[in-house]
Amino acid sequence: MRNPANGREVVIEAEPEEIYLDRETGDELEVVGKVLPLAPSKSRLPWAVENLRFCGWCGQLAQKDLNDCPTCGRRMGPLGPRPGDR
Ligand SMILES: [Zn+2]
């Protein structure tokens, strides 16, 4: 959520259709991003940084033991350096 007045962002657990206010300023927050529950996955690895890699197609995170990206469905290449690593 973001306060459009000052750009402050907060991550909170929100209910649909509810209005959320900035705790400090009382401004109404706008939703700028959502964390969706994970779809059932073939991976048994917990969703933790050490188990995740970036899909080379869409750049989203996927568990390392998956061959196909759960986000875009395309086959991910062999494990390699992450994009941006050097
Ligand atoms: Zn992908």
Which pLDDT band holds residue 1 (cuts at 50, 70, 90)? confident
- Tokens for 34? 């959502």
Task: Tell me how far the alpha carbon of residue 3 lies from the centroid of ligand 1, in angstroms.
Answer: 30
Confidence check: pLDDT of 12 > 90: no
Which residues line ion ligand 1, judged by CB < 5 Å?
A: 55, 57-58, 69, 71-72
Task: Tell me how far the alpha carbon of residue 84 lies from the centroid of ligand 1, in angstroms.
Answer: 16
- What's residue 4's pLDDT? 84
Q: What is the dihedral of CA 46, 77, 38, 15, to 10 degrees?
A: 120
Task: Tell me how far the alpha carbon of residue 10 lies from the centroid of ligand 1, in angstroms.
Answer: 27
On average, the pLDDT of the chain sits at 80
Which pLDDT band holds residue 58 (cuts at 50, 70, 90)? very high
Task: Tell me how far the alpha carbon of residue 7 lies from the centroid of ligand 1, in angstroms.
Answer: 30
Whole-structure pTM over 0.85, yes or no? no
pLDDT tens for 66-85 read 889 988 999 987 765 556 65
Closest CA to 42 of 77, 68, 74, 72: 68
Task: Tell me how far the alpha carbon of residue 85 lies from the centroid of ligand 1, in angstroms.
Answer: 18
Closest CA to 38 of 22, 61, 15: 61
Which pLDDT band holds residue 24 (cuts at 50, 70, 90)? confident
- Tokens for 70? 């759960």
